[in-house]
Amino acid sequence: MQRPPQRDPDATRERLTTWLAAKMPEASDVRVTNLANPSATGFSSDTLLFDLEWREHGAARTRPLVVRTEPRGVTVFPEYEIAKQYRLMQILRPTGIPLPETLWLEEDESILGAPFFVMARVAGRIPTDTPPYHTGGWVAEVEPAERAALWWSGLETLAAIHRLDPETLGLGFVDTAAAGATPIERQLAYYRRFLDWAAPGRTHDICEAGYEWLVRRRPTAEPGALCWGDARIGNMIFDRGRCVAVLDWEMATLGNPEQDLAWWLFLDRHHSEGVSAPRLPGFPSAEETVTRYTELSGRPVRHLHYYEVFAAFRFAVIMIRVAQQMIAAGVFPPDSDFATNNTVTPLLARLLEVEP
């Protein structure tokens, strides 16, 4: 599923060109070419790809770039802070985590209708969500050995993120802004508010059951780390099985890094079991993944099932807003039941041992 185009390409190209020319005082003949949306863009962000062409000191230059814009209209998340993502990526890139170079942040909404930042475009391929990579796309076409390589490379990168010291890096600003004495309490409070905002005046029985289950069983005295939030191979760029960039930091927070591992495993389960497809040969099992993650991170995994339920619950809440986006875009009719009848909610029900 893809979001319909939301921008006038000619107006966007003109505004970007003027803005970029002002950012590059030594450049002349600045041009924005090949402006396009990604072929399989997600629902929570507004992304544009383009080539920047200019002349500098008599030489012609070209650079492929990306614009990430704070979404407007029917948004997925209650809040979206593009400046926080930009700041986090700038802090993390010198640590060795593979990230695109962030170039400029613009918080003036008059340029493109919302704050945005520009970053370098990294060459490589991203496992597809549309279709889910276990059912089609380039991941289904490569050899099993390359699938194993990209999985392990991605997991190594995830563990490297979790080995960072948030305090040393000054990452307190990433913590979830909600009431609660512990990170998981703050996140549960946030997603309680998220659910109420996403489905006002309506009851989503499976999500409500998931929330109650999570509140009753929440762990205590947990380790703390930077959590990527949307940790999955579909948010990584790969070059011949090697992770060369980590994307999409909008869900980043502080907390138990097991929640990232659980999200990693649950999203892969969604792309197979959730769409009634077998996992492709070459992908390591969940058990092998947990064992290797423990070795890489140096952390024991104690609450994996809890955080798998948390992953399924979060994704099910997000799908409520995705359904509203699709209705607003005219993709689904107004009476669509996609908010509850989707590929995520039944998986949450199975994890809770509740009939969907």
**Residue 126 predicted with pLDDT over 60:** yes
Q: Is the same domain home to 296 and 269?
A: yes
pLDDT for 223 equals 87
**Residue 95 predicted with pLDDT over 80:** yes
Q: Is the same domain home to 245 and 110?
A: no
Give the mean model confidence (pLDDT) for residues 237-254. Answer: 97
pLDDT for 72 equals 86
C-alpha span between 219 and 200 (Å, rounded): 29
pLDDT digit string (tens) for 151-176? 999 999 999 999 999 999 999 999 99
Give the mean model confidence (pLDDT) for residues 143-148. Answer: 98
pLDDT digit string (tens) for 26-64? 999 999 999 998 765 455 568 999 999 999 998 999 999
pLDDT for 241 equals 97
pLDDT for 242 equals 98
Q: Is the same domain home to 145 and 51?
A: no
Q: Is the same domain home to 37 and 100?
A: yes
Does residue 49 fall inside a structural domain?
yes
3-state secondary structure the chain: CCCCCCCCHHHHHHHHHHHHHHHCCCCEEEEEEEEECCCCCCCCCEEEEEEEEEEECCEEEEEEEEEEECCCCCCCCCCCCHHHHHHHHHHHHHHCCCCCCEEEEECCCCCCCCCEEEEECCCCECCCECCECCCCCHHHCCCHHHHHHHHHHHHHHHHHHHHCCHHHHCCHHHCCCCCCCCHHHHHHHHHHHHHHHHCCCCCCHHHHHHHHHHHHHCCCCCCCEEECCCCCHHHEEEECCEEEEECCCCCCEEECCHHHHHHHHHHHHHCCHHHCCCCCCCCCCHHHHHHHHHHHHCCCCCCHHHHHHHHHHHHHHHHHHHHHHHHHCCCCCCCCCCCCCCCCHHHHHHHHCCCC
Question: Which domain range does residue 43 map to?
Answer: 9-120
pLDDT for 45 equals 60
pLDDT digit string (tens) for 172-226? 999 999 999 999 999 999 999 999 999 887 789 999 999 999 999 999 888 899 9
Q: Is the same domain home to 74 and 154?
A: no
**Residue 354 predicted with pLDDT over 90:** no
Q: Is the same domain home to 265 and 324?
A: yes
Residue type, 174: V
Name the average pLDDT for the chain.
93
pLDDT for 320 equals 95
Give the mean model confidence (pLDDT) for residues 271-278. Answer: 97
pLDDT digit string (tens) for 128-141? 999 999 999 999 99
Give the mean model confidence (pLDDT) for residues 14-27. Answer: 96
Give the mean model confidence (pLDDT) for residues 226-247. Answer: 97
Q: Is the same domain home to 48 and 186?
A: no
pLDDT for 252 equals 97
Domain count for the chain: 2
Does residue 242 fall inside a structural domain?
yes
CB of 347 closer than 8 Å to CB of 273:
yes
**Residue 2 predicted with pLDDT over 80:** no
Q: What is the pTM for the complete model shown?
A: 0.94
Share of the chain above pLDDT 70, in %: 96
Q: Is 15 exposed, middle or buried (0-12, 13-18, 19+ CB in 10 A)?
A: middle
Q: Is the same domain home to 158 and 34?
A: no
Give the mean model confidence (pLDDT) for residues 61-89. Answer: 94
Q: Is the same domain home to 79 and 186?
A: no
Residues whose CB is less than 8 angstroms from the CB of residue 284 and which lie 6 or more positions away in sequence, other chains included: 148, 151, 152, 292
pLDDT for 39 equals 63
pLDDT for 3 equals 47
Give the mean model confidence (pLDDT) for residues 268-278. Answer: 97
C-alpha angle 264/267/272, rounded to 5°? Answer: 125
Q: Is the same domain home to 206 and 114?
A: no
The residue that leads in pLDDT, 260 or 199, is 260
Q: Is the same domain home to 58 and 113?
A: yes
Does residue 100 fall inside a structural domain?
yes
Q: Is the same domain home to 158 and 58?
A: no
What is the C-alpha end-to-end distance of the chain, expressed in Å?
A: 23
C-alpha span between 114 and 108 (Å, rounded): 7
